[in-house]
Structure 1
Amino acid sequence: MSETTPGFDTLAIHAGAKPDPTTGARTTPIYQTTAFVFDDVDHAAALFGLQAFGNIYTRITNPTTAVLEERVAALEGGTAALALASGHSAQLVALHALMTPGCNVVASKRMYGGTINQFSHSFKSFGWDVKWAEDLDAASFAAQIDENTRAVFIESLANPGGIVMDMDGISAVAKEAGVPLIVDNTMATPYLCQPIKHGADIVLHSLTKFMGGHGNSMGGAIVDAGTFDWAASGNYPMLTEPRPEYNGMVLHETFGNIAFAICCRVLGLRDLGPAISPQNSFLLLTGIETLALRMQKHCDNALQTAEFLSTHSAVSWVSYSGLTNDPFHQAQQKYCPKGAGAVFTFGLKGGYEAGIELVKNLELFSHLANIGDTRSLVIHPASTTHRQLTDEQKTAAGAGPDVVRLSIGIENVEDIIGDLKQALEKV
């Protein structure tokens, strides 16, 4: 390729990948192996001591997965990435590198219900706390930060409502407090939004969703922006204190702007173990090749569907930032100018029972707990994904009793709207 920086679509196909040197295979092979042979004793010692990069064991590194990591990092504009078994494991490993017992993360209430549950309950077993920002504005996050805060956590497009967060404002708050901003970019993907350009220090993904895009493989990713000064505060000992398991090596001194990604790999993934399979890495790589094409179709279909629903007599409201009258439309134009994504919510005048009845009568839409598929998907969050939350938490998360969440696929939009129309007539 030329010396100019390749475009997004080119990176989605070529970043990290070269023809296989042994066979000439053009598609990245699936290296379905648990371990790798060392050149000699010195080579093995260098790998285990972090003096050389290479493959030891597929739980830690794998050539198929390495291509996936380089590609995701390139698309997000990061310095390095780490692929894991799921989006939830990406959150676990990322926070594991930052938190110690008694520390907290300040997070938005407008997030995926599974994340709220993970933060509110599962992480307490580690002695980690969460402080919820009361509103969406930067001041609400600033008000929650204290001396024990180690990160600020938001979603770029909030699940389930597709609300666009003020990344620039929240990033400024995090920087003032000396803590990294973590942005879950699952719903937007780097095609629609690149959070690092808006001050994110760490970007997370559930690759299971739009990045893979076909509902056939699980995966997660951590992207290191390489922008945060880990030594400034002394609050991140895993990165700034000598590591006894690596002969006193200080990771941020040794690895510079990829230190966080290395820390997550050799101190998190190595010991916690949520490794992605090479097979899933292969499937996700294949999906990413068509990311730009799919995301644009998703967005175009979603906008037309939201416009249809906004005029239907059975619908009380539609939350989709692509609509010109949506309160987050201006933010969408700033942060996601190519489109507002494929996932949005709307409210039915009949409330909880109407939501369940609609789901029962849809035919083209698949009723399941996922987003980001080529197929159109539907769920009633209050009775499913957000069921474990209190009524107050459901409403705060944008998953009240009347809410229906759609993930619009890439079918013909006339068929998508037609299915919704016939189902709404039966509610």
Structure 2
Amino acid sequence: MSDPTGPKYGFETLQIHAGARPDPATGSRQTPIYQSTAFVFRDAEHAAALFNLQEVGYIYSRLTNPTVAVLQERIATLEGGAGAVCCSSGHAAQIMALFPLMEPGRNVVVSTRLYGGTVTQFSQTIKRFGWSAKFVDFDDHAAIKDAIDDDTRAVFCEAVANPGGHISDLDAISAISDAAGIPLIVDNTTATPYLCRPIEHGATLVVHSTTKYLTGNGTVTGGCVVDSGKFDWAANDKFPSLSQPEPAYHGMKFAETFGPLAFTFHGIAIGLRDLGMTMNPQGAHYTLMGIETLSLRMERHVENAKKIAEWLETDPRVDYVTYAGLPSSPYYKLIDKICPRGAGALFTFAVKGGYEACVKLVDNLEIFSHVANLGDARSLIIHSASTTHRQLTAEQQKAAGAAPEVVRVSIGIEDADDLIADLDQALAKSTS
């Protein structure tokens, strides 16, 4: 159902059917969990063709697995991409996205408004590969342009930023990356392809933590890199792993051999083979089941988030609310362009009384769960400054939207009035 020459199905149809076919052996309507490490070759010639990438098929589940393959096709289809590679977590997806692009001494220009773990990964961990990151306020488009130099190999941002729910102007940012001849990588975890389609706004690659809204039930971790298939990796000499003979795969030129699917095949043949960040088939199965109800859930997430954000904004115990769906938000004007179906369900609000009041609020909630996750069917809350962003400096916390007086909420699909009542009673106890 991802054939571009075939019928044009709606999102709700594709989220159920894309990539899935009845099992040829049993007729099973639901995608089976192919819990197998290896797959039998027909003969020696078949095995050689698979290893030479002359034929697509299954070898070993670190590389390819039938259950995971269905998930890859489904996410790629929903995002409007040419292909996708699933892996073990959202953090793995970020490394997988950068791996074919970077070399020692190269850098990536990234937004200051990122999940705290991503800030740490980019500011600290990637240094061990000889890579570096330049952090820039992505509302300042001139600053993005100025930060790009001859060693920059990618631009990275979140479509709807975690934790504050700020919306990135992807059209303007992609114009900058295009002019520099480098890819734009967009983390679309918070928005999902139901609310935002970054490839339509110029993104080269889209990454997901499938752990969050795509799965939607807090059961498994996973990640995905979606390849738009639209970037010319051979247009310059900046990406030798894709445009030049790849020594890690007997001199194959991936861009020449696979064209629009060059990045996808590299991600499997080199990335998964050597980094081993594999998604397990049972995890893929849970995520496939979650995606079947994605549009229904996201509609309720957005409806609830808007109602609760409006209530919080008028509450005298709250200093401010960052939800982009509020007319008072500086990002409100971007909704129709970037997220026409709504601004998501993740945002922050500042509690009068600061750090201590935030801690008391979290401890007194009854329906909201205090967890380090988002995108669940149930409503979640966390005080980022003492948890997910604790490892950052005070300046980094503020830049990321995780100041000490701020809590992050991921609004679920429960009854919105019940959630408001829960927040009301907890605010009373925390600010009295």
* TM-score w.r.t. length of structure 1: 0.99
Instruction: State the SS of the aligned residue for 2:429.
Output: coil
Alpha-carbon distance in structure 2 between the residues aligned to 1:135 and 1:184: 14
The one-character-per-residue Cα deviations of 1:160-207 (angstroms, maximum 9, x if unpaired) are: 000000100000000010100000000000000000000000000000
Alpha-carbon distance in structure 1 between the residues aligned to 2:223 and 2:247: 28
Match of residue 68, structure 1, among 49, 66, 71? 71
Where in structure 2 are there 5+ consecutive unaligned residues? none
Are residue 341 (structure 1) and residue 344 (structure 2) matched?
Answer: yes
Alpha-carbon distance in structure 2 between the residues aligned to 1:70 and 1:135: 31
Match of residue 247, structure 1, among 247, 250, 256? 250
Are residue 377 (structure 1) and residue 380 (structure 2) matched?
Answer: yes
Match of residue 360, structure 1, among 360, 363, 387? 363
Q: Are the aligned partners of 1:50 and 1:246 in contact in 2 as well (CA < 8 Å)?
A: no
Alpha-carbon distance in structure 1 between the residues aligned to 2:192 and 2:143: 26
C-alpha deviation, 1:277, in angstroms: 0.5
Instruction: State the SS of the aligned residue for 1:46.
Output: helix
Letter in 2 for 1:87: G
Match of residue 268, structure 2, among 243, 257, 265? 265
Q: Are the aligned partners of 1:89 and 1:274 in contact in 2 as well (CA < 8 Å)?
A: yes
Letter in 2 for 1:403: V
Structure 2 residue aligned with 1:351: 354
Match of residue 413, structure 1, among 406, 412, 416? 416
Where in structure 1 are there 5+ consecutive unaligned residues? none
Q: Are the aligned partners of 1:316 and 1:347 in contact in 2 as well (CA < 8 Å)?
A: yes
Identify which range, 26-35 or 224-233, moves more after superposition: 224-233
Letter in 2 for 1:71: R
Structure 1 residue aligned with 2:282: 279
Structure 2 residue aligned with 1:25: 28
Alpha-carbon distance in structure 1 between the residues aligned to 2:6 and 2:208: 29
Instruction: State the SS of the aligned residue for 2:224.
Output: strand
Count of residue pairs the alignment pairs up: 427
Letter in 2 for 1:330: K
C-alpha deviation, 1:138, in angstroms: 1.9
Alpha-carbon distance in structure 1 between the residues aligned to 2:330 and 2:174: 21
Q: Are the aligned partners of 1:318 and 1:345 in contact in 2 as well (CA < 8 Å)?
A: yes
Alpha-carbon distance in structure 2 between the residues aligned to 1:98 and 1:130: 13
Match of residue 238, structure 2, among 232, 235, 239? 235
Alpha-carbon distance in structure 2 between the residues aligned to 1:249 and 1:103: 23
Alpha-carbon distance in structure 2 between the residues aligned to 1:382 and 1:136: 23
* TM-score w.r.t. length of structure 2: 0.98
Structure 2 residue aligned with 1:330: 333
Alpha-carbon distance in structure 1 between the residues aligned to 2:247 and 2:326: 54
Letter in 2 for 1:373: D
Alignment of 1:80-229 (within 5 A): 80-229=83-232
C-alpha deviation, 1:143, in angstroms: 1.1
C-alpha deviation, 1:249, in angstroms: 1.5
Are residue 315 (structure 1) and residue 318 (structure 2) matched?
Answer: yes
Structure 2 residue aligned with 1:292: 295
Alpha-carbon distance in structure 1 between the residues aligned to 2:103 and 2:285: 34
The one-character-per-residue Cα deviations of 1:264-308 (angstroms, maximum 9, x if unpaired) are: 111111100010100000000000000000001000000000011
Q: Are the aligned partners of 1:73 and 1:79 in contact in 2 as well (CA < 8 Å)?
A: yes
Q: Are the aligned partners of 1:183 and 1:204 in contact in 2 as well (CA < 8 Å)?
A: yes
Alpha-carbon distance in structure 1 between the residues aligned to 2:137 and 2:188: 21
Name the CA shift for 1:52/1:157 in 2 (closer, same or farther; >3 Å): same
C-alpha deviation, 1:333, in angstroms: 2.1
Q: Are the aligned partners of 1:137 and 1:170 in contact in 2 as well (CA < 8 Å)?
A: no
Alpha-carbon distance in structure 2 between the residues aligned to 1:53 and 1:136: 42
Superposed CA RMSD: 1.0
